[in-house]
Structure 1
Amino acid sequence: MSSFSYKQSVPSEWVDYNGHMNDAEYNRAFSLATDAFIDWIGLDEKGREQYQYTMFTLETHTCYLKEMHEGADFNVSARVLDFDAKRIHLFLEMHNADGEVAATLEEMLMGIDQNEGRPAPFPEEVANNMKAEYEKTSDQEQPKQVGRTIGIRRK
């Protein structure tokens, strides 16, 4: 399993009129965790400057599984499901204090050359770090939320 972890508590301003964390705030938490993961693999502020390289989000899919309330601690883990020279297929799980999965986010990220403003291959160190993260979980079964589509199931 990845040793990456992003920890936080639900601030009061993230709680909506239903008394739990608003859906947009789950996505904010996942976005903050994604940024932390990108830092983790070598594209922190120093890496972005050194390589003149950054990451853009192309697509996301969020599943809301458990309510999170004000002050509740949570932990987000990240798993590289797949990658190529320029893209990362990333899966994030938000766990509550009891270790239950509260939400998931599946996303596709694209590496961007900041000078060109176009997709470009990952810097070698970043690619190596990503490959190492991928290999930690590549033999595990895919989470059931991966690849889901939205639609009404008919009998």
Structure 2
Amino acid sequence: MLATNRDAELYHSAPIPIEKEWIDYNGHLNMAYYNVVFDRGGDEFLSELGFGPTYAAERKLTIYTAEVHICYVQELHLDDVVTVTNQLIDYDSKRLHTYLEIIHKDGWVAATCEVLSLHVDMSGPKVTPFPEDVLPKLEFYMKEHAQLPAPDRVGRAIGIKKK
């Protein structure tokens, strides 16, 4: 589902309610389940791009995650409802670079996630180029999302800053 955000459009997932089983002994969403939320919202965007379950089943091609960087910004609790925004930052013949945010129903950012994904031939498995027929969707979103400002958290490294 496309929704207007800033001057261009980000892809927004369907609403995702926070489930009871995801809450830890501290009373908030356990860090592992932020990944679950990102995965669900990210899978919707991958399906929009043409890389969903049918693509995998029929073509024996799919998307694997190679690297993820999550920033936990604000706690989520039971009964919270969120959506996941998806922004295509870049792609080449075999890889996708995406940026996702978990957005609380009240509009604030709960977490951010930067992902490098690989296009994989499942018969290997081995990394393989995207087929020509999926490139128009990638080109559309690349053009659309290139109009958005670069997210502040893209390209961050983990480390302790020394004074």
Please, what TM-score do these two structures have when normalized by structure 1? 0.94
The gaps in structure 2 that reach 5 residues or longer are 1-8
Aligned equivalent of 1:122? 130
Match of 2:121 among 91, 97, 113: 113
Is residue 2:98 matched to residue 1:90?
yes
Q: Is the 8 A contact 2:11 2:87 kept in 1?
A: no
Aligned equivalent of 2:33? 25
SS at match of 1:143: coil
Aligned equivalent of 1:67? 75
Aligned equivalent of 2:88? 80
SS at match of 1:142: coil
Is residue 2:141 matched to residue 1:133?
yes
Task: Report Cα offsets for 1:9-64 as digits up to 9, x if no partner.
Answer: 10011111111101111011111222222111112222223322111100000000
Aligned equivalent of 2:3? none
SS at match of 2:49: helix
Which has the higher mean CA deviation after the structures are superposed, 127-136 or 105-114?
Answer: 127-136
Over the matched positions of the two proteins, sequence identity in percent amounts to 34
Q: 1:140 Cα deviation (Å)?
A: 2.0
Count of aligned residue pairs for this structure pair: 155
Aligned equivalent of 1:51? 59
The gaps in structure 1 that reach 5 residues or longer are none
Aligned equivalent of 1:104? 112
Q: Is the 8 A contact 1:112 1:120 kept in 2?
A: yes
SS at match of 1:39: helix
Match of 2:158 among 127, 150, 154: 150
Task: Report Cα offsets for 1:48-84 as digits up to 9, x if no partner.
Answer: 2332211110000000001111010001010000000
Which has the higher mean CA deviation after the structures are superposed, 33-42 or 106-115?
Answer: 33-42
Q: Distance in 2 between matches of 1:6 and 1:127?
A: 24
SS at match of 1:130: helix
SS at match of 1:59: strand
Task: Report Cα offsets for 1:111-153 as digits up to 9, x if no partner.
Answer: 0112232111112232221221111110222111111111111
Q: Is the 8 A contact 1:42 1:125 kept in 2?
A: no
**What one-letter code is carried by the residue in structure 2 that aligns with 1:112?**
V
SS at match of 1:2: strand
Q: Note closer, same or farther for the CA distance 1:4–1:96 as it changes in structure 2 (3 Å cut).
A: closer
Q: C-alpha root-mean-square deviation of aligned residues, in Å?
A: 1.3
